[in-house]
A and B are shown apart, each in its own frame.
Chain A
């Protein structure tokens, strides 16, 4: 009996302390629509605020248990309201506009950030997210760190290019069985190739389906392809099996086929890109093993 009352007291104490902390710091409920943005919210320490994410938010693993609000262009006003959010962050790809209007009139703060693949956009996004999460120093720190990683990367690429010319690269985004799409100008894929020191051989804008012949005609030195399943060698074989013409390209003959996680390419520049860049640039400049010992790419 005594232990029971003790337990009650402890529980009551816990409850009170919970209430107190809830009062001193009003909880912000966040819904995030956009893969890279969600990752940044988590990186800025906002994971505990997240109450919902869209289908493009796949990282980190721990957020996958959150309720999904569906595809970012096809949001449902009442569905989002049922999560009782204070704020919805997303990119300009969010929609439809009437739904955003309805959310605003329901008192949800709708923050539209940029999805473009450049540093200015990223710095703006980080600044805004930092201010909203109340941790601007951390945002500044992340932003500076990102810029520094890019600088180191540029230096490394510049040095590497003294030993070896920039390889011609194409990036294929493929869904199993379907014709692969080639990443062109303005995509995150294009940005990634350039930062890693490659020349993107595709000159169109956005993602486009190429014929096998056109893809082969570009005769890339390195072929980067997205691989949803992340199972390396077998997916490489599958790609060549489905597009046999690719086997005759320089990249295939030199076995320079590199797989890439497709979730890296969604929703602007994300925090995992510098690592991916590092891996890519090592594959782009295999001759620089001696250089690797002196200056390792993007720390």
Chain B
């Protein structure tokens, strides 16, 4: 695969797309705000002393609803796409998605426990509920990934093949336990669980945002620094070792990054499918396989894609809202099929 687009052009285009997505995400919503009001409210939120009692409503919608939502979308999109690149690099398989090491199913299991057990305990204090759900999902993702990693280790070596199989088995196990909780759930908990599995950026608030932003910042800062090592890994593990890469350490770091990043993203926004799978593909198609380009470009593209999908999700059924997982999978699945068919011919 050769690059069709020069990296510089690609980054310019992606930055523009990302800026456009951020702008749309801030400017568009079921409440139609005049452009001028949005701008004035934005400036006031940034601390510019403008007179404007008339933009209080705009300020509230922008500051309390759209800004946290946009930040959440950016962080989740970037981290999911980056983790996707890391997974595909680690497994040297274009079909790998971050769910493969069990982080998504582990998080889903954590969420199911929180929702169903919380409901049967007679309900937790409503103020605590969102945090408990996020913490359980995050912990579930980390635990299952940790187990998969441990199972893959043998004589100080990590076998990617065994990890893959262990991931499949753990996903099945988590799935069956989720099934059990689904059975035990009452009607209301069941609906909550279903919606959680479809993901949403709705209800983003700063309190829940900061932990995610911290984790995301760490992943976004750290992963691109391993681009050269991932490039070497493309040649094969022993080749990478000959090139002086500490392969075991790299694997450990990548798994940790994926578990932390995807765990945090899923904990904050629920399961959002296909971003981690299609975005890296898309970038490799146009820019070639060099991770020094693919990693940062995927982060930008993932963030933009998720924001565009979110604008669509909140507008199309307004005043109700579509879960974003439906939108991303709706775009993602046909694209993936296209890749499959194209690869065969």
Contacts and interface: CB of A to CB of B under 8 A. Distances in A.
Contact of B66 (A71, A76, A78): A78
B54 interface: no
B30 A81 contact: yes
B5 interface: no
A71 B195 contact: yes
A206 B186 contact: yes
B124 to A, nearest CB: 10
Given A79-B30, A97-B127, A74 B205 contact: no
Residue picked from B192, B200, B202, B204, most chain A C-beta under 10 Å: B202
A78 B198 CA distance: 19
Interface residues of A, number: 32
A79 B183 CA distance: 32
Contact of A98 (B186, B195, B205): B205
Contacts of A106: 57, 60-61, 64
Interface residues of B, number: 34
B156 interface: no
Interface stretch (A62-70, A119-127, A129-137, A217-225): A62-70
Contacts of B126: 95, 97
Residue picked from B60, B202, B205, B319, most chain A C-beta under 10 Å: B319
A209 B187 CA distance: 11
Nearest to B322: A70
Interface string B164-187: 000000000000000000010011
Contacts of B127: 97
A106 to B, nearest CB: 5
A77 B319 contact: no
Contacts of A70: 317, 319-321
B253 interface: no
B335 to A, nearest CB: 27
B208 interface: yes
A27 interface: no
B88 to A, nearest CB: 32
A58 to B, nearest CB: 15
Contact of A96 (B29, B203, B319): B203
Residue picked from A81, A83, A205, A209, most chain B C-beta under 10 Å: A81
A145 interface: no
A148 interface: no
Contacts of A83: 319
Given A101-B205, A106-B61, 7 more contacts: A73-B188, A73-B191, A82-B32, A98-B130, A98-B203, A106-B57, A205-B186
A78 B65 contact: yes
Contact of B202 (A74, A105, A205): A74
A82 B30 contact: yes
Given A76-B314, A98-B130, A206 B31 contact: no
Given A76-B319, A99-B203, A206-B186, A82 B29 contact: yes
8 contacts: A74-B323, A76-B30, A77-B202, A79-B320, A81-B30, A82-B29, A82-B319, A105-B64
Contact of B130 (A52, A55, A80, A97): A97
Interface string B216-251: 000000000000000000000000000000000000
B43 interface: no
A156 interface: no
A81 B29 CA distance: 10
Nearest to B192: A73
B41 to A, nearest CB: 13
The 8 closest A-B pairs by CB, nearest first: A70-B320, A79-B319, A82-B30, A76-B321, A206-B186, A98-B203, A82-B31, A79-B30
Interface string A204-245: 011101000000000000000000000000000000000000
Interface in B265-323: 314, 317-321, 323
A111 interface: no
A96 B320 CA distance: 14
Given A97-B126, A207-B186, A79 B318 contact: yes
Nearest to B119: A206
Contacts of B130: 96-98
B67 to A, nearest CB: 12
B144 to A, nearest CB: 25
A47 interface: no
Residue picked from A74, A78, A83, A99, most chain B C-beta under 10 Å: A78
Nearest to A67: B319
B203 A80 contact: no
A98 B268 CA distance: 12
Contacts of B57: 106
Contacts of B60: 105-106
Given A78-B30, A78-B66, A206-B187, A68 B320 contact: yes
Contacts of A206: 186-187
A102 B31 CA distance: 14
Residue picked from B30, B192, B200, most chain A C-beta under 10 Å: B30
Interface string A84-111: 0000000001011111011001100000
Nearest to A115: B188
Contact of A79 (B208, B314, B323): B314
A79 B126 CA distance: 22
